[in-house]
Amino acid sequence: MARFEQVELTNLCLLHKGDKYLLQNRVSSEWRGYALPGGHTEPGESIVESVKREMLEETGLEILNPRLCGIKQFPKGENRYIVFLFEATEYRGELRSSEEGEMRWVSRGELETVRTVDDLRLLIDTMLDSEKSEFQYVIENGEWLAVIK
């Protein structure tokens, strides 16, 4: 059995102040709705530097002291897709949107009234729970199931 597999490395960041979360209203037809900003890690780039770069590119904000708070993963064909989950509360700069979507501060209460990507609320709850660190999708009998540890 091979001990190596192909992986795609990405990141998401929960930037929050009080009960408000910075979300991106994604325009992609594959992944539409409010979601956490983030993106891919470039070859040779550190994981922390990748989340800082992606946040600057997508939000115009320089995040300070991002904290790794978990990992999300799921199968992608024969490969694995790994998302490093960060949270931050400190930033500087001017908020702006990008071609990926409009950026907006959304309160926790508003999450029920805006269109979000399917697992956003569960993902945020997992990221803010200090007893949890892994959000994994597994496929059982053709169905995608979220397993949180």
* pLDDT at residue 44 in the model: 97
* pLDDT at residue 42 in the model: 97
**Which domains, and CATH codes, for the chain?**
7-148 (3.90.79.10)
**What residues form DSSP beta bridges with 91?**
63
Report helix, strand or coil for 72. strand
Stretches in the chain below the pLDDT threshold 50:
none
Q: CA 6 to CA 106: how far, in whole Å?
A: 35
What is the percent of the chain with per-residue pLDDT over 90, rounded to a whole number? 91
Q: What is the pTM of this model?
A: 0.94
Number of H helices, E strands in the chain: 2, 11
